[in-house]
Each structure stands twice: as C-alpha cells, then as structure tokens.
Amino acid sequence: MTLLYSDVEEELRAAVRGLLADRCPPAAVLGRVESEPGRRGLLDSVNSVYDLGLWKTLAAEIGVAGLLVPEELGGAGAGLGEAAVVLEELGRAVAPVPFLTSAVMATRALLPTGDPLLGELAEGRATAALAVSFAASPYAPGRGASLRLDAGGRLSGSVDQVASADVADVLLVPLDGVLYAVEAVEGASVEAVPSLDLTRPVASVRFDGAAARRVGECDVAEVLRLGAGLLASEQLGVAEWCLETTLAYVKERHQFARPIGSFQAIKHRLADLWLDVVRARAAARGAVADPSPLSVAVAQAWNAEVAVRAAEEALQLHGGIGMTWEHPVHLYLKRAKATQIALGTPGDHRAALASLAGVPGPE
C-alpha cells in the first residue's frame, strides 16, 4: 500500500491536464453554461452543458473511458489510482464530461455482469448513466427513486436528480439487486432541471412502461461506495484549483499598496487551507490504496468539507470579482457544494464511522 502517485499515474495526469488546458479552459466552460436547460427526450443531447466532443477525445486519445474495464473486455485494465488521478484533473477543470457517472459508476455496475456494453463504454462509443439519484449514498441507495417492474418486464416510475442522464445513451437501472438496461427512447423521458452544479447538471428520469433488459446482478450500495471514494479525488482537484487560483490572485492583487497576500490574516488562512488540502490528498489516496468502507467514509467526510471550504475561501478572498458570473470561481463553489450532498453528505459518512471505527453513539 502506498499513498504516493505512481509514475504511470503522473503521466496520465499530464496527458489529461494538457488536453483540458487546451480544450476546456474556464472561459470555455463558462460559455457552455450560458445555455438554458430544456425539456427533452433521451438521446437528444444537443443543448446539454456536457461537452461530448471533449469526452470523445478523452476517451479516444487518452483512453480514460476504459480505465476500469479489464483488457479482455476492451478496456485498459488500470486501477483505481488512475481513475482517481483523472478525477483530480477533471475536478481542477470542472470539466463537463460524464467520466464519474459513465466510466466509473455505470461501468462499475456493469463489470460483474461482463455485459458487452462494457466494451462500448470503454471505447467511448456509448455513454451510460446509472439511474440512481446523485443524492443517494451507500447507506441509502434508494433515495429519490420510486421504481417498479411489471410482469412483462417493463419499467415504470421515476428517479430524481440523476447526474449526466441527459447525455446517456443507456440508462442502467438497479432494482431489487438486479441491473436493467433501458436503451429505447419509448417509455423513458429525461428532463434536465436547473441544477446548482452548472457543470454537472442533474435530470429527472421517468419511465412509463419502458422496455428494460435484464443485465445481471448489482450491489448498488457497493457501486455508490466506489463512486464516493473516487469522488474524494475529484473534490481534491476542486480544492487544489481553488487554493492555487487564490494564491495567484492574492500575490497579484494590490490594496493598500501591498499584495493582499502579504497581509498576515490572509496568509494564516491560506496556510490553514493548504494544510486541509494536504490532508485531503492523503485521504483521497488512502481511499484508493484501501477502498474499504472505512477509508471511503473518511475520505468523503473530509474532502467534501475541504472542497466547500476551499471554494468559499476562494470566493471571499477574490472579493467582489469572486461574486461575478464572469469569474470561474462560482463554478467550483457550485461543484463543491453539490458534491457535498452527492453520494452521501459528510454527516452520513461520519455516522457510518460510528460502527466502522468503533466510536459507538449514546445508548
């Protein structure tokens, strides 16, 4: 077990960072979020905030879509560490691509089934979303969902706040321990709703007797736990961008004829924030090296808070400019706040530690 980055991971990071710097700078992301979300059906992703062009490039040129898929199924057969590094970089860029939802969570749900769809996902030819609320957690996997299967194997009901559903070619629906795939437009609707996180909007998914293919068995809590563990790396990336951008700003911005970064109160706050980020890095790597329920709960409990704190400090220390739409810091604040809720709040993860770490509650 190591908490360091491997050379392979660092190379992957450099490749992803380079591509994102080129294709996904903050101004480009801001431009995308100007468009209004609208009501639409499955497979109509023209107006989405998600940048599917970028996603195709990430999948085709760097192969990020297949990282978690074994080579024999058409993937790269890489480990969690590689996926985590990609998420750090995507977090740093608040890149609107469905990596976490399709290449991590949907892929992980499919893996035990060996379904051929895995190959398509791995190559980026198709994108899938798990039809689970992004506000669900390993401890409450059914939150926000109300689904039933009729005798003819058709699916009805709804799931709220599904991340990346509006760009999914396939919806993967876990129900009573079984995973179903919904590929048809008929009987399924996906309605994007105005989302707090502009760069990873959520949608309402409704089925009305949709044809559902039984894919295999699915432990959805485990899938959400894996997602939560890796989300800690994305949160680390968000926090790092906020800290670094703020450091650059306070070195540059002068008030009272001094860089504001020379004022001791600012310096001490940034030192404390740095220390939080240092520990977020250790926590994220801990959840990669040992993806146990305990490590995941620790990483989420810590990193979700650090990402929010970093974004809030970034906004405050940018002063008025931080309150403007034209500065990208709000994209990070919204991402951070949304991921505080996603896949379990810090409080949910701390509550889980009561038994995982042997800190029992009042009797």
Instruction: Report which residue type is found at 141.
Output: P
Of residues 22, 268, 290, 324, which one binds a second copy by CB under 8 A? 268
- Residue 361's binding partner among another protein, a second copy, none (Cβ under 5 to 8 angstroms by kind) is another protein
State the CB neighbour count (10 A cutoff) for residue 2. 9
Give, in degrees to the nearest 5, the angle at Cα 23 between 32 and 71: 110
Cβ at position 271, least distance to a second copy in Å: 10
Piece in contact with another protein (CB under 8 A), picked from 61-69, 116-124, 220-228, 308-316: 308-316
Nearest of 298, 303, 307, 310 to residue 351 by alpha carbon? 298
In this chain, which of 88, 115, 183, 348 binds another protein, going by CB under 8 A? 348
Q: 210 or 315, CB closer to another protein?
A: 315
Q: In this chain, which stretch among 19-27, 83-91, 181-189, 347-355 interacts with another protein, using CB under 8 A?
A: 347-355
Contacted entry of a second copy, another protein, none for residue 258, CB cut-off 5 to 8 Å set by kind? another protein
Nearest to 192 by CA among 341, 28, 42: 42
Interior CA angle at 90 toward 84 and 96, to 5°?
135
- Residues 245-264 within binding reach of a second copy (CB under 8 A): 263-264
Quick one: which of 4, 46, 151, 265 contacts a second copy (CB under 8 A)? 265
CB-nearer residue toward another protein: 177 or 320 = 320
The reply on whether position 39 binds another protein by CB under 8 A is no
Q: Which does 359 bind (CB under 5 to 8 A by kind): another protein, a second copy, none?
A: another protein
Q: Least Å distance between CB 135 and a second copy?
A: 18
Residue 195 φ/ψ region, left for φ over 0, alpha for ψ in the -120 to 50 degree band, beta for the rest = beta
Handedness of CA 319, 323, 324, 330 (dihedral sign): positive
Q: Which of 7, 46, 151, 362 binds another protein (CB under 8 A)?
A: 362
Dist. CA 339–CA 333, nearest whole Å? 10
Does 197 help bind another protein (rule: CB under 8 A)?
Answer: yes
**Which of a second copy, another protein, none binds 14 (CB below 5-8 Å, type-dependent)?**
none
Judging by beta carbons within 10 Å of its beta carbon (0-12, 13-18, 19+), is residue 257 exposed, middle or buried? Answer: exposed
Smallest gap from Cβ 307 to another protein, in A, equals 13
Task: Give the residues across from 157 on adjacent strands.
Answer: 147, 207
| Cα–Cα distance for residue pair 12/66, rounded to 1 Å | 13
How many CB atoms are closer than 10 A to CB 111?
Answer: 18
Residue 281 CA to its chain's centroid (Å)? 16
Q: Least separation, in Å, of the C-beta of 359 and a second copy?
A: 16
For 193, how many CA atoms within 13 A lie in the half-sphere containing its CB? Answer: 12
Minimum CB distance to a second copy, residue 221 (Å): 21
359 binds a second copy (CB under 8 A): no
State the nearest-atom distance from the C-beta of 203 to another protein, in Å.
10
Q: In the bound complex, what is the minimum distance in angstroms from residue 46's beta carbon to another protein?
A: 19
Contact call for residue 337 and another protein (CB under 8 A):
yes
- Using CB under 8 A as the binding rule, whether residue 27 contacts a second copy is answered as no
Using alpha carbons, list the distances in angstroms from residue 269 to 75, 246, 302, 321, 340.
Answer: 44, 11, 18, 19, 21
In the complex, least distance from residue 278 CB atom to another protein, rounded to whole angstroms: 5
Per rule CB under 8 A, count of chain residues that contact another protein: 85
Shortest Cβ 194–another protein spacing (Å)? 5
3-state DSSP assignment of residue 87 = helix
d(CA 272, CA 51): 35
Residues that bind a second copy (CB under 8 A): 263-268
